[in-house]
Amino acid sequence: MSLLEVRNLTKSFGGVRAVDDFSFGAEQGEIVGIIGPNGAGKTTAFNLITGVYPLDRGSILLEGKELAGKEQFEITRSGIGRTFQNIRLFKGLSVLENVMTAADPYSPYGLFSLFTLGAAFRRREREVRAAAMEYLALVGLEKYADEKPSNLPYGLQRKLEIARALATGPKVLLLDEPAAGLNPSEVREFIGLVGELRERFGFAVLVIEHRMEVIMTLCSRIYVLNFGKLLASGTPAEIRANHEVTEAYIGKEDASCSV
Amino acid sequence: MLVQNILNGISLGSVYALIAVGFALIFNVLKFSNFSQGGVMTVTAYAGYVASRYLSDRLDSLVLFAAVLAAAAVSGAVIAAAVERLAFRRLRRTKSEPVYYFISSITMGILLENLITIYASSNFYSYPRFFATSAVPLFGVNVAVTDMMMFALSIAALLALLFILHRTKIGLGIRAACFDVNTVQLMGMNPDFLVTTALMISGALGGVSGVFLGMNYTLYPQLGQMVVKGFVASVLGGLGSIHGAVIGAVLLGILEIFFISWVGAGWAPVFVFIVMLAFLLVRPRGIAGIIVQEKA
Amino acid sequence: MDYFVSTVIFTGIALIGVLGVYLITGLTGLFSLGQAAFMAIGGYVSAVLIRNYNVPVVPAVALAIVAAMLAALLVGLPTVRLRRDYISLVTLGFGEAIVALLNNSANITGGAMGISGIPQLTTLPVVLVSVVVCLALVILYKNSKYGRQCLALRSDELAAKSMGIDVYRLKLITFLFAGALTGYSGVLFGFYTTYLEPAAFNWIISAEWTIIVFVGGVNSLTGTVLATILLTWLPEFLRFASEWRVAIYCVIVLLIVNYRTAGIMGERELSPKTLRRLLGRTKEAPR
């Protein structure tokens, strides 16, 4: 049994099939890439897995348990963590609090313990703070703990998104274009970071990315989406050799298109 | 009785529609519910009254009525333009979030209401009777002339609005601004001009409704708090939808009249609230059915 | 002196009510245009229990707060799942419905004439202790998982859900807490003025409280407290301006909202940490 198994994922918006009968899976400790041109339905697939939109059809099994139809927060708590393509950090909170917030849903204390300054509240608050500091340290942000996220440069905001996702305790981590906007040295650093995190936590990683360097170095399996449909899947070497994929990406060879 | 209630409801609803459409219009352009409209309505109701006092010796019946409405509409437009300048212009320059517009507009509404309180010192005034006959028979029931006038003129005002929105360049600009107010610059339009025009249109509509409300009830400074009827109708209609706002307003008018005749004016708000809540639970996207799906 | 004391008491009562609005608007980013109705519920329930049914004070107050929370549950349960815009609509309708209800059950509430002869139990010490306790509870709430999650949800509801936050439950809890606070401020109000009338609790009051929170600063509790004190005292200072008071008040609010959009305090809080930073800065300055 795979850790994550997605079958026949389908979703239409109006008359457009954004994701059409997409099936894939990920094993524990595996890094899986999802690539495809803009508008191919990659982010929609993530949104379906995390419960942002309801599915039209299909099933999402995490350790054999069905996630389709559950609320977003339930899906996250079952073990699906994610980052966002267009960075969605919490503006009113500090860097540290951003990470703490993602661990807060697991805090068992109630209002009574809070209002009486009970031991449960104080202990848990210390734990969450310490854990959040640790996640920040993992991505190298510990010295910015008290900053506001908007004061961080773009590359660090992306790292903060990852630290926040880690705090939800994922079994599967979904990264949506995590390297977008990073400069080449940051990209290399990022590749190293994802590898380390995978070693440390043993989770599966699904990554959507346009930077081929990231996909080709990290992923053991790649799925290529085009117009919502699965175009090809395989190892990085197989995908690189696939003509259909290159065509979908950069058009036919005679087209005067350069990216 | 049934016909009577429906007719009364529609005429009340048509007044609400004037307010609701103003809300929808501004929501389209600036993405907030413009509560300053209430203050504008209070001022225009008094402006109409003052006009009627000055003109009642010189003009008669219909002409007088038309003059009063015109005075109220013009003053509404002027005040709304002033409100834009004082309460929204700077927020637009600093690209503030819609909530600040909301706060600014509510404060502006309270300010205008208060200025009228100072002017009229909480006295009650009432409009003169504009028409010799007060009611005419229609479908076997007596319909008040003012009700008919309210209905007819509201329809006329709404049609004029639709004409402006769909047949003029400025209307095109306002509809385009629905997506992004600043892109109209690319179409060679001045966003300031556009926003001011939208507010002036909604102010003029509010002016007309102010007179109607003043005629229906007595004139008092808190008259403008009836603005919430327009807010309710426009939200029920589906935020930003002109047609939805009109339908919402007429439904609200009919509902209120029905409940008033069944359970009395006192209990009516309770029942209206329950119906409204039930409606939102069954159809959370409003009458117009515009659903805004957030993108992740 | 009496006059001063009464102003302090009114400010304290208003502050407890505004704290409720702070939880809903400042922390969670929702608008309640019917918050004053919870004040009415608190005031009326305690007054009626004591006056008409001879219930002792403490249980009467407790029941009044429970009643306000039940009302918050009634409004909250169906609305927390609705879009934000609808929440202001539903709370507005609820507020107006409560006022109508009070107006029309004359045999219990005295109807539009109001209810009088409520014992005067609210004294300066009672108000001061109440303010300190309520403020402490709100400070704790803000600095716990609840407050953090509220701020997260205010900033980005979708991302909040994706971090495992049960936003509906969170909104409901916040609503209930706010209802309890506002209800209690109503209790204090009734026990001070000894007279309650429905007209005192319409949506304009709720709107004014919301304005106070914004004048204070986006989500700063310190700012909310400062703004409450400032804005409830301002009309008193402006007494010389007699009838122009409210107008001047509005102009000042307009200036703050337009020219200092983040409010008096922005997101800053007065805490030991910021105090130290502030002092540190002034120490460094002479060098």
- Whether C149 sits inside 8 A of A97 (CB atoms) is no
B contact chains, 3+ CB pairs < 8 A: A, C
Can you read off the two tokens belonging to residue B24? Answer: 């929808």
Q: Spell out, as residue ranges, where chain B has pLDDT lower than 70.
A: 122, 132, 288-296
Chain B residues inside the 8 Å CB shell of A85: 296
The mean pLDDT value for A152-175 works out to: 94
Q: What DSSP designation does C204 have?
A: H
Taking the C-alpha atoms of residue C67 and residue C73, their distance in angstroms, rounded to an integer, is: 10
Q: Which residue from A91, A114, A167 is facing C140, i.e. has the nearest CB? A: A114
Count of structural domains within chain B = 1
- The predicted-structure confidence for B104-138, as pLDDT tens digits, reads as follows 998 999 899 889 888 887 677 788 777 767 777 77
- Whether C144 sits inside 8 A of A121 (CB atoms) is yes
Asked whether the beta carbons of A78 and A105 are under 8 A apart, the reply is no
- Residue keyed to tokens 């993108």: B295
Asked whether the beta carbons of B109 and B221 are under 8 A apart, the reply is no
According to the model, what pLDDT value does residue C283 have? 45
Can you give the residue range of the structural domain that contains B132?
2-295
Can you read off the two tokens belonging to residue C49? Answer: 């229990």
C153 CA to chain A: closest CA distance, Å?
8
According to the model, what pLDDT value does residue C42 have? 95
According to the model, what pLDDT value does residue A130 have? 94
Asked whether the beta carbons of A172 and A81 are under 8 A apart, the reply is yes
According to the model, what pLDDT value does residue C109 have? 80
Taking the C-alpha atoms of residue C218 and residue C90, their distance in angstroms, rounded to an integer, is: 23
Q: Which residue from B293, B294, B296 is facing A43, i.e. has the nearest CB? A: B296
Can you read off the two tokens belonging to residue B247? Answer: 């339908």
- The predicted-structure confidence for A46-55, as pLDDT tens digits, reads as follows 999 999 999 9
Instruction: Compute CA B46 distance to the chain's CA centroid, rounded to the nearest angstrom.
Output: 16
- Whether C164 sits inside 8 A of A76 (CB atoms) is yes
- Whether C163 sits inside 8 A of A164 (CB atoms) is yes
Taking the C-alpha atoms of residue C195 and residue C189, their distance in angstroms, rounded to an integer, is: 9
Chain B residues inside the 8 Å CB shell of A47: 296
According to the model, what pLDDT value does residue A97 have? 95
- Residue keyed to tokens 């203050």: B39
Rounded to the nearest 5°, which phi and psi values hold at A17? -80, 100
Chain C residues inside the 8 Å CB shell of B267: 100-101, 104
Q: What is the pLDDT along chain C (287 residues), one digit of tens a residue?
A: 688 888 899 999 999 999 999 999 989 989 888 999 999 999 999 999 998 898 999 999 999 999 999 999 999 988 888 877 788 888 988 998 898 888 888 778 888 788 888 889 888 999 999 999 999 999 999 999 999 999 999 999 999 999 999 999 999 999 999 999 999 999 999 999 999 998 888 888 888 888 888 888 878 888 899 989 988 887 777 666 667 777 888 888 888 888 887 777 777 777 777 777 666 654 444 43
- Strand stretches in chain C, DSSP E: 115-116, 195-196
Give the helix, strand, coil percentages of chain C, each rounded to 5.
80, 0, 20
- Strand stretches in chain B, DSSP E: 135-138, 141-144
Q: Helix, strand or coil for residue B136?
A: strand
CATH number for position B285: 1.10.3470
Taking the C-alpha atoms of residue C138 and residue C193, their distance in angstroms, rounded to an integer, is: 26
Say if C201 is an interface residue toward chain B (CB within 8 Å). Answer: no
According to the model, what pLDDT value does residue A14 have? 80
User: Residue A250: is its pLDDT beyond 80?
Assistant: no
The mean pLDDT value for A143-150 works out to: 92
A contact chains, 3+ CB pairs < 8 A: B, C
Q: Helix, strand or coil for residue B132?
A: coil
Chain A residues inside the 8 Å CB shell of B296: 43, 46-47, 50, 52, 84-85, 88
Q: How far is CA B52 from CA B15, B63, B150, B209, in A?
A: 20, 11, 17, 16
Q: What DSSP designation does C40 have?
A: H
Q: Which long-range contacts (CB under 8 A, 24 or more apart) does C123-131 make?
A: C123/C9, C124/C5, C124/C8, C124/C9, C126/C188, C127/C8, C127/C9, C127/C12, C127/C13, C127/C188, C127/C192, C128/C12, C130/C12, C130/C16, C130/C184, C130/C188, C131/C12, C131/C15, C131/C16
A 13-52 residues with CB < 8 A to C: 50-52
- Whether C151 sits inside 8 A of A76 (CB atoms) is no
According to the model, what pLDDT value does residue C153 have? 93
Taking the C-alpha atoms of residue C226 and residue B174, their distance in angstroms, rounded to an integer, is: 40
3-state secondary structure chain A: CCCEEEEEEEEEECCEEEEEEEEEEECCCCEEEEECCCCCCHHHHHHHHCCCCCCCEEEEEECCEECCCCCHHHHHHHCEEECCCCCCCCCCCCHHHHHHHHHHHHCCCCHHHHHCCCHHHHHHHHHHHHHHHHHHHHHCCHHHCCCCHHHCCHHHHHHHHHHHHHHCCCCEEEEECCCCCCCHHHHHHHHHHHHHHHHHHCCEEEEECCCHHHHHHHCCEEEEEECCEEEEEECHHHHHHCHHHHHHHHCCCCCCCCC
Asked whether the beta carbons of C201 and C94 are under 8 A apart, the reply is no
B 13-42 residues with CB < 8 A to A: none
- Whether C214 sits inside 8 A of B100 (CB atoms) is yes
According to the model, what pLDDT value does residue A255 have? 43
Residues 6+ apart with CB under 8 A from C126: C188
According to the model, what pLDDT value does residue A211 have? 87
ipTM of this complex: 0.89
Say if strands A4-13 and A57-62 run parallel, antiparallel, or are unpaired.
antiparallel
Q: Helix, strand or coil for residue B142?
A: strand
Chain A residues inside the 8 Å CB shell of C219: 92
Taking the C-alpha atoms of residue B235 and residue B24, their distance in angstroms, rounded to an integer, is: 8
Can you read off the two tokens belonging to residue B163? Answer: 């004409």
Q: Which residue from C90, C104, C208 is facing B280, i.e. has the nearest CB? A: C90
Asked whether the beta carbons of A155 and A181 are under 8 A apart, the reply is yes
* CA R_g for chain C: 19
According to the model, what pLDDT value does residue C285 have? 40
- Whether C99 sits inside 8 A of B269 (CB atoms) is yes
Q: Which residue from C156, C164, C219 is facing A105, i.e. has the nearest CB? A: C164
Say if C282 is an interface residue toward chain B (CB within 8 Å). Answer: no
A53 CA to chain B: closest CA distance, Å?
9
Select the highest-mean-pLDDT range: A123-132, A246-255, B91-100.
Answer: A123-132
Say if B293 is an interface residue toward chain A (CB within 8 Å). Answer: yes
Residues 6+ apart with CB under 8 A from A185: none
Say if B296 is an interface residue toward chain A (CB within 8 Å). Answer: yes
Taking the C-alpha atoms of residue A76 and residue C159, their distance in angstroms, rounded to an integer, is: 11
Q: Which one of B97, B291, B294, B295 makes the best mutation probe of the A interface by having the most chain A beta carbons within 10 Å?
A: B295
According to the model, what pLDDT value does residue C100 have? 87
A14 CA to chain B: closest CA distance, Å?
12
Q: Helix, strand or coil for residue C195?
A: strand
- The predicted-structure confidence for B197-240, as pLDDT tens digits, reads as follows 999 999 999 999 999 888 887 888 888 888 888 888 888 887 77
Label residue A258 by pLDDT band (50, 70, 90): very low
Residues 6+ apart with CB under 8 A from A108: A120, A124
Taking the C-alpha atoms of residue C16 and residue C186, their distance in angstroms, rounded to an integer, is: 9
pLDDT, greater one: C287 or A44:
A44
Say if strands A31-35 and A80-82 run parallel, antiparallel, or are unpaired.
unpaired
- Whether C78 sits inside 8 A of B277 (CB atoms) is yes
Q: Helix, strand or coil for residue B51?
A: helix
Taking the C-alpha atoms of residue B279 and residue B257, their distance in angstroms, rounded to an integer, is: 18
Taking the C-alpha atoms of residue A91 and residue C93, their distance in angstroms, rounded to an integer, is: 31
Label residue A251 by pLDDT band (50, 70, 90): low
